[in-house]
């Protein structure tokens, strides 16, 4: 697993730091990057690397995404299950981390805690992606298994490639929610698309798809009836892989 975001599971922690000064944010980020991320990877079996991103472009429809996103890659389903079991078990079974600075206690608020598992990927990147375009999607309520098969067939084999071509992304991955510990109402999307760019040239697909020959396919009815709770663009703050410090 030497390529970023190729791990089969990932754990997200999304946080806001409302009211923090620039000096406090420097302290928050320094502690998160240099201390907390390292400890989370070291103290949770099967955690292999970590990345932090900052919200670069929110969803124009509202405040749907946290400012800071930490992504912890997990080696396998056992790592995800072990983390979940620790979360559900008594506090004495959980890791003990270095006490956080005042800004974390006073200004930081956790908005997301989610485990995803990967279901498809296309393309490749040589470096940890600088830019992420994250799209949460729900299939229509009441979709049958046959409907979901059609939905996923189109999503994986048509839509992802078209978005990558239209918006200059080098890699696209699809994920399904494994467990949502925390997400604001009306709940965490069932599916996630993660479109990656390895430098600042990557740009998200705008609300209105591009016109002309690169327009996006309409897709089957079950696809046309999907909902998109959020579309968010994040830029990389820091990446950490044990042994590469």
**In the 3-class helix/strand/coil scheme, how is 163-179 assigned residue by residue?**
HHHHHCCCEEEEEEEEE
Question: Does residue 3 fall inside a structural domain?
Answer: no
Domain assignment present for 100: yes
Give the CATH number, domain containing residue 170. 3.30.70
- Within a domain: 4: no
Q: Residue 208: is its pLDDT beyond 70?
A: no
Residues of the chain with pLDDT > 90, as a percent, come to 82
The answer to whether 9 touches 74, Cβ cutoff 8 Å, is yes
Structural domain contains residue 66: yes
**Pairwise CA distance, residues 119 & 116, whole Å:** 9
Q: State the total domains in the chain.
A: 1
Let me know if residue 188 belongs to a domain.
Answer: yes
Residue 147 lies in a domain: yes
Q: Which residue range(s) make up the domain with 203? A: 9-240
Q: What is the mean pLDDT of residues 137-158?
A: 98
CA pair distance 223, 139, nearest whole angstrom:
7
Question: What is the pTM assigned to this prediction?
Answer: 0.93
């Amino acid at each position: 697993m030497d390529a970023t975001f190729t791990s089969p599971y990932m754990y997200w922690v999304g946080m806001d730091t409302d009211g923090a000064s620039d000096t406090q944010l420097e302290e928050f980020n320094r502690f998160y990057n240099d201390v907390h991320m390292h400890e989370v990877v070291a103290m949770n079996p099967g955690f292999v690397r970590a990345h932090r991103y900052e919200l670069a472009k929110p969803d124009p429809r509202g405040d749907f995404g946290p400012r800071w996103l930490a992504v912890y890659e997990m080696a396998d389903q056992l790592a995800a299950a072990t983390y979940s079991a620790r979360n559900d078990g008594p506090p004495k079974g959980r890791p003990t981390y270095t006490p956080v600075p005042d800004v974390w206690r006073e200004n930081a608020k956790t908005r997301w805690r989610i485990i995803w598992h990967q279901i498809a990927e296309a393309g490749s990147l040589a470096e940890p992606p600088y830019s992420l375009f994250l799209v949460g999607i729900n299939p229509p309520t009441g979709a049958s298994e046959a409907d979901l098969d059609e939905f996923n067939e189109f999503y994986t084999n048509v839509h992802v490639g078209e978005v990558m071509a239209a918006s200059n992304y080098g890699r696209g991955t699809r994920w399904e929610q494994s467990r949502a510990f925390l997400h604001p109402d009306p709940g965490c999307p069932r599916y996630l698309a993660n479109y990656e760019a390895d430098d600042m040239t990557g740009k998200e697909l705008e609300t209105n798809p591009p016109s002309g020959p690169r327009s996006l396919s309409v897709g089957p009815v079950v696809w046309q009836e999907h909902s998109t709770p959020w579309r968010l663009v994040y830029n990389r703050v820091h990446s950490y892989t044990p042994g590469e410090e």
